[in-house]
């Protein structure tokens, strides 16, 4: 049986990654609290938020069938043992980028997969290291004026204008964008799942 992916996300970036790999999928936006549970480790916090998204999709998507597999994820930029989420305002965006300037940070994405036929629930964390060049304050403010940082974890988009700040990275590029495609496809293979594709 060919399976159908349900992407529990409103993120256009995650949709584009799946489209580029020619997966047929249904995007189902979910809205859950993304406030981390402070009593959990960083990895556990990210998995917990991704699991909230998967559960919200499972409980509210009315047309789930046995051939459906839910895919939910959450991405955080981490430095000095703490997570930088999406900035709440321009000043916080400046603070995030200033913290990343000239340093190495980690981008962590949690993935939750739920097979509706077997109810098998799989979780995975993918980590990519990213090194920023030293950024001058005026460069940070000019970048913030583009508005690109305002809905991005860590206040930058590696696939957009923000790539000019990246000196180098180690790991999956797509993971930094928001969906670790290589790891996800490995999980598909391990579980012997085959999916509907587009041309």
Would you please indicate which residues are annotated as catalytic (active-site) residues?
Answer: 74
> Would you state the structure tokens that stand for residue 25, as one six-digit string?
């999928």
Say which residue the tokens 């249904």 belong to: 26
Question: Alpha-carbon distance 131 to 113, whole Å?
Answer: 30
Please state whether beta strands 104-115 and 68-79 pair in parallel, antiparallel, or not at all (unpaired).
antiparallel
Partners of residue 78 on adjacent β-strands: 83, 106
Question: Alpha-carbon distance 185 to 119, whole Å?
Answer: 19
CB 72 within 8 A of CB 8: yes
> Would you state the structure tokens that stand for residue 193, as one six-digit string?
């799942």
Terminal-to-terminal C-alpha distance of the chain: 19
CB 77 within 8 A of CB 46: no
Chain-centre distance for alpha carbon 3: 22
Residue burial 147-166, b: 16+ Cβ < 10 Å; e: rest:
ebbeebbbbbbbbeebeebb
């Amino acid at each position: 049986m060919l399976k159908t992916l349900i992407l529990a996300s409103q993120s256009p970036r995650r949709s584009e990654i799946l489209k580029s790999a020619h997966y047929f999928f249904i995007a189902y936006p979910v809205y859950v609290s993304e406030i981390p549970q402070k009593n959990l480790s960083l990895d556990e916090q990210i998995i917990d938020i991704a699991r909230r998204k998967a559960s919200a999709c499972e409980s509210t998507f009315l047309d789930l069938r046995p051939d459906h597999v839910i895919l939910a994820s959450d991405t955080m930029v981490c430095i000095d043992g703490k997570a930088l989420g999406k900035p709440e305002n321009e000043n916080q965006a400046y603070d995030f980028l200033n913290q990343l300037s000239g340093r190495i940070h980690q981008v962590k994405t949690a993935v939750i997969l739920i097979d509706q036929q077997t109810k098998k629930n799989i979780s995975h964390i993918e980590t990519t290291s990213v090194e920023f060049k030293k950024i001058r304050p005026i460069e940070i403010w000019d970048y913030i004026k583009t508005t690109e940082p305002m809905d991005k974890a860590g206040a930058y988009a590696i696939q957009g204008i923000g790539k000019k700040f990246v000196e180098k990275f180690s790991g999956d590029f797509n993971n930094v964008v928001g969906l670790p495609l290589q790891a996800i496809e490995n999980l598909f293979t391990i579980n012997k799942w085959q999916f509907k594709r587009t041309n």
